[in-house]
Amino acid sequence: MRLTVLASLASLALATTAVAGEVPIKEVSSNSVLVDREKGITYAAENILTAKAGEMWVEAESSAGLGKYVEVKFDGDQEIHGFTIWAGCFVDKEFWGRHNRIHHVEFKYPDFTSEKIEFEDKMEGLHIKLAEPKTVSKVKIYLRSVYDGNTWNDTPITRLQFWDKDGPDEITGLKATATSEYKDEDNAYGPHKAVDGWDDTYWVNGDGDGQGESITVDLGGSQTVKKFGIATGWGDTASFFKGNHRAAEVSLTFSDGSSKKFALEDVADLQVFDLGGVTTSTVKVTFTKITKGASHDDLYVGELRFWR
């Protein structure tokens, strides 16, 4: 059975937070969508709009789906300079290798021009600059060739973003340490999960309720940081979210010793705050207040993000 490790539970929708440089996608559809009726999962095209490793579009063909497409529509004409694609199944390294990954796609534009694009076979977001900017209201992305998976003949796309001339400004390649973490054999809840780019992987504290604990993020050198984002709580379902602890207030401490404090709403959405341009090489995020869960004594943090 394909994609058997993916959660079948309904997810809480995370708000799509537009940042500088990103061209928001208004609508996405496909002419081929895999439906797993046994598990009640639809691998719809809309899944590529979330930052969740466990949600993706998958074509429904018995073959690799060559010739099938995803159609992206914007809010009127937009000038597109490039895009970032997470081509493949990003649940984990094993499942990425077991499924096909896209090798070539063809972009078809409303003016009847097209562009063929080749991807490297890397388990990371691939940032692609178009041959020349295109002002379009929509684009169709056709599958043309794949790197073969070693188990299944399915071709997923996990995430897709488009960019204007300013391009992506999120700081990537982050490293993190924490004052504690929940220990398990797979190291599945370490602080690296809070900076891996996916909102459905989590850092979980060790002993205690998590209040006063902190995660220190290494930005990879001095950066001028304009925005900070956080997704707190186990957001897979409403009951999971309410059952476990969530951060209610955080304090950010920068490498020069200065700090800023933010109150959080009790929601599973990614919350974004303006930092006003702080130059720092590290950010220590301390969970100064928490909202306690109804049934479990664990603090979950899905993601910490920073933008230039």
State the Cα–Cα distance between residues 179 and 205, nearest whole angstrom: 8
Mean pLDDT over residues 188-213, rounded?
95
Residue type, position 117, single letter: I
pLDDT for 276 beyond 90:
yes
Give the sign of the dihedral formed by CA 280, CA 261, CA 204, CA 15: negative
Q: pLDDT above 70 covers what percent of the chain?
A: 94
Q: Please write the tens of the pLDDT for every residue from 126-150.
A: 999 999 999 999 999 999 999 999 9
pLDDT band at 186; cut points 50, 70, 90? confident
Supply the pTM of this predicted model.
0.84
Q: How far is it, in rounded angstroms, from Cα 201 to Cα 214? A: 17
What integer pLDDT is reported at residue 20 of this predicted model? Answer: 65
For the chain, what is the mean pLDDT?
A: 92
Residue 275, pLDDT > 70, answer yes
In this predicted structure, what is the pLDDT of residue 302? Answer: 95
Does position 117 have pLDDT exceeding 90, yes or no?
Answer: yes
Task: Find the mean pLDDT for residues 80-101.
Answer: 96
Domains of the chain: 22-163 (2.60.120.260), 175-307 (2.60.120.260)
Confidence band (pLDDT; 50, 70, 90) for 253? very high
Averaged pLDDT for residues 108-113:
96
Span 146-173, pLDDT tens digits: 999 999 999 999 999 999 998 888 999 9
pLDDT at 15 over 60: no
Amino acid identity for residue 237 in this structure: T
- How far is Cα 56 from Cα 6, in angstroms, rounded to an integer? 10
DSSP state letters, the chain:
-TTTTS--SPPPPPP----TTEE-EEEEEES---EETTTTEE--GGGGGS--TT--EE---SS--TT-EEEEEEEEEEEEEEEEEEES--S-HHHHHHS-EEEEEEEE-TTS-EEEEE----SSPEEEEEEEEEEEEEEEEEEEEEEPPSS----EEEEEEEE-TT---B--S-EEEES-----TT-TTSGGGGGSS-TTS-EE-SSS--TT-EEEEEEEEEEEEEEEEEEES-TTSHHHHHHSBEEEEEEEEETTS-EEEEE--SSSS-EEEEEEEEEEEEEEEEEEEEEPPSS---BEEEEEEEE-
Residue 153 and residue 63 in contact, taking contact as beta carbons nearer than 8 Å: yes
- Stretch 172-188: mean pLDDT: 91
Average pLDDT estimate for 184-189: 85
- Banded model confidence at residue 7, pLDDT cuts 50, 70, 90: very low
Query: How confident is the model at residue 61, as a pLDDT?
Result: 95
Cα–Cα distance between 156 and 123 in angstroms, integer?
A: 13
